[in-house]
Amino acid sequence: MAQPYMPVASAEDPEIQESPGNGSSSIWIQEEEEKIRKQAEQVTLSIPPHFPRLDSIGGNNLDFDYPSIFKLRRRAAVGVALASMPTLPQAAASPALDHPEPATSSIMVAAVGPYHRPSSGSLITDAKKCAIVKFLASQQGSGLNTADFLRWAKENDARVQSCYEAGSFTVSSEPSREEETMSSKDLPRMLLLDGCLLLFAVFLLTSSVHATPALPAHDDAERERQFNYLSADMCRNMKQTRLDLLTLSNQIPFFVLAELHGRLKGTLFNGIERSIEELALSCFDDIHPPLSGVIKQAKAGETITFPKTVHHLLHLFHWSRVPEGKHMLLNDSPCLHAEPESHLPCATWFEEWRTSFSKQAAPGGSSLHIVFKREMMDMRGVMHVPAQHIHGYSEPVFRSLIAFEQRHHQCGLGVTAYSICMARLLQTEADAKLLRERGILAHTHQTDKEIVDLFTGLADEYSNTFYSKDLLRLCEDVSAHHKSTPAKAIKWVRLQCFPKQSVTFFVIFGALISFATVINAGYSVYRFYHPLPVK
């Protein structure tokens, strides 16, 4: 049976007692706490119906009938776009968050934010969120006072709304049945439930915390059992949980997480000195694209300098993957509105021009930064295309990152530029095969056609949009190299003297034989006039 819930802040609390000018505020806070308590009691000790039997969860002596037949839950198809965004922004001021994705792209585990209300379609329901809040608030020494946080959220509701796209949802003083309208009481409640859920997910997904939170000695067994039930869905679906947290519409402002982290630092994250930014970033260590070279070096030295303002988890992930200071749209520099594709040919064309490919990233660069360099007195070009791991989840991740870039230009266009470059390099299956042989498309189960279709789809969706000067400079460098006299001379010699590999082989083989024959003839003439002394 569930333990009776003791409210963190009751009506007898001096802070909650009704006073002139504060009565209505106290009443709605008590109502919200009562709703959370009732929903939490319904779920704390109940096993999800889709969850298979695991004797290690809650011990072996629980009096539950474990089902043997389960209803299949609908899975999002691999390759479904997680963000269907317009190519050009509609507002001058680009907000940090955006519209939800189409219905074909559902959040499977953890749905948060105003665009996914209610969260009954995901594994973590609102009732489970309430149970998580109850679990965190009732820990001994917890700094999470639900009434106090609801007041804080109410005071910051204007700041929260400013983080979302203008007009994407409205907050009304009265309850409404409209999907895009939430009451002024719902917003603080949503921030409390979703913020605690995300912090709980960070606790479970990061590699720098203990297996279970610190628990009071007198009820370790009971509390651990509750913890196991509440974490079951995310532990069983860690990969999907990470992908849910990287969906553009599935976000809440990061300053809300920072506020909750400060209140729970002495309990849930007890003994962990790392900042909330470091903890949140470590949740995505095994999600590709990998960390940029600069972030890896800073992480090794434990001196990571995070952005002054982190908008949300997707922004943090984006910042850690893109090349630092590249593909930015500066206020004093114009941006392009036409794809510079004519200057960036396919991979097999580069091969014909004797331009080599390198899978090594440029020093301090990232796996999303493509660089072209000239070597050997401008006679030889080298295209640095860092090795990339393409997985089944790569398309939704790329789409979320690009959608964020296209709506929030202050963070640069690194992923957009990379996708356009890869689409130009990978125009046919032969191009994909070539890059796979060079080790650039490494450790992927996708076929050559699937990889070509992936980047072609990304580039087509975001054609005629914003491009950075760095992308134009890359295309101009490639074009200038292949128009240069040294490069043209090398290509002419190759085409005239070595048109085919078989001809090249026999020419070189014949040259070696001729050279050996000349050496042998010269040696014979020398010995004819200078015979060896006879002993």
Residue 120 and residue 262 in one domain = yes
3 state SS of 389? strand
Percentage of residues in the chain having pLDDT higher than 70: 69
- Mean pLDDT in residue range 129-138: 92
Specify if 274 maps to a domain.
yes
Q: Output the pLDDT for position 82.
A: 34
Round to whole Å and give the CA distance between 305 and 295. Answer: 9
Question: pLDDT of 134-170, one tens digit each?
Answer: 999 988 777 899 999 999 999 998 888 888 887 777 7
Q: Output the pLDDT for position 104.
A: 37
Residue 419 and residue 273 in one domain = no
3 state SS of 426? coil
Are the C-beta atoms of 396 and 318 separated by less than 8 Å?
A: no
pLDDT greater at residue 49 or residue 122: 122
- Number of structural domains (the chain) is 2
The most confident of the ranges 119-123, 183-187, 394-398, 471-475 is 394-398
Specify if 516 maps to a domain.
no
pLDDT band at 258 (very low <50, low <70, confident <90, very high): very high
Contacts of 474 (CB under 8 A, 6+ apart): 344, 370, 371, 372, 421
Can you tell me which residue has the tokens 């032969």?
Answer: 430
pLDDT greater at residue 66 or residue 151: 151
Task: Give the lowest-confidence range in 284-288, 423-427, 469-473.
Answer: 469-473
Are the C-beta atoms of 146 and 8 separated by less than 8 Å?
A: yes
Specify if 154 maps to a domain.
yes
Give the orientation angle of helix 220-236 with respect to helix 238-245, to 10 degrees: 70
**Cis geometry, peptide bond prior to residue 486 (ω within 30 degrees of 0):** no
pLDDT greater at residue 507 or residue 218: 507
Specify if 428 maps to a domain.
yes
Q: Output the pLDDT for position 7.
A: 45
Specify if 533 maps to a domain.
no
Residue 384 and residue 457 in one domain = yes
Is residue 438's pLDDT more than 70? yes
Specify if 16 maps to a domain.
no
Q: Output the pLDDT for position 18.
A: 45
Residue 171 and residue 278 in one domain = yes
Residue 33 and residue 139 in one domain = yes
Question: pLDDT of 288-325, one tens digit each?
Answer: 998 887 787 777 666 788 888 899 999 999 999 998 88
φ/ψ of residue 277, rounded to 5: -65, -45
Is residue 71's pLDDT more than 90? no
User: What are the distances in angstroms from CA 196 to CA 199, 203, 422, 511?
Assistant: 5, 10, 39, 75
DSSP 156-207: THHHHHHTSPTTS-EEESS----TTEEETTHHHHHHHHHHHHHHHHHHHH-T
Residue 145 and residue 276 in one domain = yes
Is residue 398's pLDDT more than 90? yes
> What's the burial of 169, exposed, middle or buried (CB within 10 Å: 0-12/13-18/19+)?
buried
Q: Output the pLDDT for position 496.
A: 55
Q: Output the pLDDT for position 523.
A: 81
Q: Output the pLDDT for position 190.
A: 93
- Mean pLDDT in residue range 175-187: 74
Domain end position, chosen among 287, 315, 331: 287
Specify if 442 maps to a domain.
yes
Residue 173 and residue 57 in one domain = yes
Sign of CA dihedral 268, 272, 277, 283: negative
pLDDT greater at residue 343 or residue 109: 109
Round to whole Å and give the CA distance between 34 and 30. Answer: 6
Specify if 333 maps to a domain.
no
**Among 488, 349, 471, residue whose Cα is nearest residue 417:** 471
Task: Give the lowest-confidence range in 187-201, 274-288, 364-378.
Answer: 364-378
- Mean pLDDT in residue range 253-262: 94
Residue 241 and residue 367 in one domain = no
Amino acid at 168: S
Domain end position, chosen among 265, 287, 309: 287
Domain end position, chosen among 269, 287, 305: 287
3 state SS of 381? strand
The most confident of the ranges 95-99, 212-216, 329-333, 511-515 is 511-515
Q: Output the pLDDT for position 97.
A: 44
CA 72 from centroid of its chain's CA atoms = 27
Question: pLDDT of 192-232, one tens digit each?
Answer: 999 999 999 999 998 665 555 555 444 578 888 888 899 99
Q: What tokens does 42 get?
A: 């319904």
Round to whole Å and give the CA distance between 520 and 528. Answer: 12
Is residue 75's pLDDT more than 80? no
DSSP character for 533?
P
- Across 320-378, the runs of DSSP E, i.e. the strands, are 356-358, 371-375
Amino acid at 72: L
Strand 356-358: give its sheet, edge to edge.
356-358, 380-384, 371-375
Round to whole Å and give the CA distance between 252 and 183. Answer: 17
Residue 202 and residue 282 in one domain = yes
Domain that holds residue 391: 341-489
pLDDT greater at residue 230 or residue 118: 230
Residue 259 and residue 381 in one domain = no
Is residue 467's pLDDT more than 50? yes
Contacts of 55 (CB under 8 A, 6+ apart): none
pLDDT greater at residue 405 or residue 88: 405
Task: Give the lowest-confidence range in 2-11, 159-168, 511-520.
Answer: 2-11
Residue 365 and residue 267 in one domain = no
Residue 186 and residue 269 in one domain = yes
Is residue 241's pLDDT more than 90? yes
The mean pLDDT value of the chain amounts to: 76
- Mean pLDDT in residue range 55-62: 40
Round to whole Å and give the CA distance between 205 and 241. Answer: 9
Round to whole Å and give the CA distance between 414 and 220. Answer: 48
